[in-house]
Amino acid sequence: MKIAVIGSTNMDLVSYTDKLPEAGETREAQAFHTACGGKGANQAIAAGKLGADVMMVTVIGDDLFGEKSMDNFMENNINTEFVWTATGVASGVATILVDSTSQNRILIHKGANECLTPDVIEEAAEALKGCGLIVLQLEVPIETVYAAIDFGKENNIPVLLNPAPANKALSIEKACLCDFFVPNETELSILTGMPTGTEEQVKAAAQTLVDKGLKNVIVTMGSKGSMWLSKEDYLVVPAVKVEAVDTTGAGDSFIGCFVENYSRTKNIPEAMKEASQYASLSVTRKGTQESYLTREEFEKLKK
Ligand code: ATP
Ligand code: RIB
In short, whether 42's Cβ falls inside 6 Å of ligand 1 is no
What is the CA(37)–ligand 2 centre distance, in A? 5
User: What is the per-residue pLDDT for 104?
Assistant: 84
User: What is the per-residue pLDDT for 90?
Assistant: 98
User: What is the per-residue pLDDT for 132?
Assistant: 97
Give percent above pLDDT 90 in the chain: 95
Which whole number is the average pLDDT over 294-301?
Answer: 96
User: What is the per-residue pLDDT for 91?
Assistant: 98
Residues 147-191 pLDDT 10s: 999 999 999 999 999 999 999 999 999 999 999 999 999 999 999
Q: Which residue has the higher pLDDT, 246 or 84?
A: 84
How many CA atoms, within 13 angstroms, populate the side-chain half-sphere of residue 106?
25
What is the CA(233)–ligand 2 centre distance, in A? 30
**Which of 218, 212, 139 lies closest to 183, judged by CA?**
218
pLDDT greater than 90 at residue 192:
yes
Complete domains list, the chain, with CATH: 2-18+32-301 (3.40.1190.20)
102 neighbors 244 (Cβ within 8 angstroms): yes
Ligand 2 atom 8: residue of nearest CA = 38
User: What is the per-residue pLDDT for 303?
Assistant: 80
Q: Which ligand is nearest to the CA of 94?
A: 2
In short, whether 222's Cβ falls inside 6 Å of ligand 1 is yes
87, 88, 89, 91: CA torsion to nearest 10: 80
43 neighbors 259 (Cβ within 8 angstroms): yes
User: What is the per-residue pLDDT for 101?
Assistant: 86
Query: Is 252 one of the catalytic residues?
Result: yes
pLDDT greater than 90 at residue 226:
yes
Residues 94-151 pLDDT 10s: 999 989 888 789 999 999 999 999 999 999 999 999 999 999 999 999 999 999 999 9
Which whole number is the average pLDDT over 75-96?
Answer: 97
In short, whether 289's Cβ falls inside 6 Å of ligand 2 is no
- Give 242's contacts (C-beta < 8 A, 6+ positions apart): 280, 281, 283, 284
Q: Which ligand is nearest to the CA of 98?
A: 1
What is the CA(124)–ligand 1 centre distance, in A? 32
User: How is the chain split among helix, strand and coil, in percent rounded to 5?
Assistant: 40, 25, 35
pLDDT band at 276 (very low <50, low <70, confident <90, very high): very high
Which whole number is the average pLDDT over 281-289?
Answer: 93
Q: Which of helix, strand or coil describes residue 229? A: strand
123 neighbors 6 (Cβ within 8 angstroms): no
39 neighbors 139 (Cβ within 8 angstroms): yes
User: What is the per-residue pLDDT for 173?
Assistant: 96
- Give 221's contacts (C-beta < 8 A, 6+ positions apart): 184, 185, 199, 202, 227, 239
What is the CA(211)–ligand 2 centre distance, in A? 30
- Average per-residue pLDDT for the chain: 96
pLDDT band at 285 (very low <50, low <70, confident <90, very high): very high
pLDDT greater than 90 at residue 84:
yes
Which whole number is the average pLDDT over 53-80?
Answer: 98
What is the CA(221)–ligand 1 centre distance, in A? 6
Catalytic hit among 12, 63, 246, 252: 252
User: What is the per-residue pLDDT for 264?
Assistant: 96
In short, whether 43's Cβ falls inside 6 Å of ligand 1 is no
Q: pTM higher than 0.85 for the full model?
A: yes
User: What is the per-residue pLDDT for 102?
Assistant: 80
Which whole number is the average pLDDT over 12-39?
Answer: 94
In short, whether 226's Cβ falls inside 6 Å of ligand 1 is yes
Which of 139, 184, 281 is the best mutation target for the ligand 1 pocket, counting ligand atoms within 8 Å of the beta carbon and taking the most? 184
In short, whether 139's Cβ falls inside 6 Å of ligand 2 is yes
